[in-house]
């Protein structure tokens, strides 16, 4: 790949003409040798540096976001801010998208990536990647929902959910943790409506085997490594 293309693919803030300017200023090296033309060929094994600082090659990027309320999980929206606006400049790249959706008023773990294959696998209805939610309810938690959800509750419109596991919050009689294995539209809210309760607060705390980092404040992002992504898929 040409070095100008390589650098701008890894560093969203640098366009190819910015890179050409840096090359002219003799600030770019490849394997220790100063680069003089933008069509110099490099690959993922080349040690590319700008001002002596390595431009690490990452084929794909994976970002754990702690989504706040008020943002939508799409790449573009007319008026409402999207989760992509929360990605800091140094992690931005072309092709980023949220892998899966949370409602505008739901908080918690959203994976943002440019890896379409991973997203496809994670969201595939045959994979049943579990998603864990912390739920607060309008009425007291009723343990009867445990058996109803375990059997597969039928939600409005006649759709039957896959079996789900729910357990009460030992510290709050209005709260519980729910694990679902699919992602129907407004699923958690509709499941509790089916047992005559109402979700008043919802936060996704885990996808597959990967837990939302408790140190991550609302609206903050953390780049995660491929080995963590593998945990999502239970590998």
Q: Which parts of this chain interact with ligand URA (CB under 6 A)?
A: 102-103, 106, 186-189, 202
Q: How many CA atoms lie within 13 A of 167 on its CB side?
A: 4
CB nearer ligand URA, residue 187 or residue 206: 187
Minimum distance, C-beta of residue 133 to ligand URA, in the bound complex (Å): 6
CB nearer ligand URA, residue 18 or residue 103: 103
Q: For residue 202, which phi and psi values (nearest 5 degrees)?
A: -140, 135
Minimum distance, C-beta of residue 199 to ligand URA, in the bound complex (Å): 7
Instruction: Please name the helix (run of DSSP H) or strand (run of DSSP E) that holds residue 24, with its range, or none.
Output: helix 16-24
Annotated active-site residue in 103, 142, 169, 228: 103
Angstrom distance (rounded) from CA 42 to CA 39? 9
CA angle (215, 218, 222) in 5-degree steps:
55
Active site residue 105: no
CB nearer ligand URA, residue 62 or residue 192: 192
CB nearer ligand URA, residue 112 or residue 202: 202
Minimum distance, C-beta of residue 103 to ligand URA, in the bound complex (Å): 4
Structural contact between residues 229 and 118, judged by C-beta atoms closer than 8 angstroms: yes
What is the CA 165 to chain-centroid distance, rounded? Answer: 23
Angstrom distance (rounded) from CA 67 to CA 74? 12
Torsion sign across C-alpha atoms 199, 202, 207, 208: negative
Minimum distance, C-beta of residue 116 to ligand URA, in the bound complex (Å): 22
Which sequence positions are flagged as catalytic?
A: 103
């Amino acid at each position: 790949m040409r070095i100008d293309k390589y650098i701008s693919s890894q560093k969203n803030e640098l366009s190819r003409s910015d890179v050409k300017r840096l090359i002219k200023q003799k600030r770019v090296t490849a394997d220790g040798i100063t680069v003089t033309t933008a069509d110099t060929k490099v690959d993922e094994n080349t040690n590319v540096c700008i001002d002596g600082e390595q431009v690490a090659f990452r084929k794909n990027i994976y970002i754990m976001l702690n989504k706040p309320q008020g943002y939508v999980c799409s790449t573009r929206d007319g008026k409402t801010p999207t989760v992509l606006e929360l990605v800091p400049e140094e992690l931005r790249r072309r092709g980023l998208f949220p892998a899966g959706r949370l409602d505008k008023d739901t908080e918690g773990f959203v994976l943002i990536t440019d890896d379409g294959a991973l997203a496809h696998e994670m969201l595939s209805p045959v994979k049943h990647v579990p998603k864990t939610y912390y739920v607060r309810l309008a009425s007291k938690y009723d343990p009867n929902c445990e058996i109803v959800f375990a059997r597969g509750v039928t939600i409005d419109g006649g759709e039957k959910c896959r079996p789900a596991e729910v357990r009460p919050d030992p510290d709050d009689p209005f709260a519980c943790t729910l694990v679902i294995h699919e992602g129907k539209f407004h699923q958690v809210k509709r499941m509790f409506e089916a047992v005559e309760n109402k979700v008043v607060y919802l936060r996704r705390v885990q996808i597959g085997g990967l837990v939302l980092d408790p140190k991550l404040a609302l609206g903050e992002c953390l780049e995660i490594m491929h080995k963590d992504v593998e945990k999502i898929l239970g590998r």
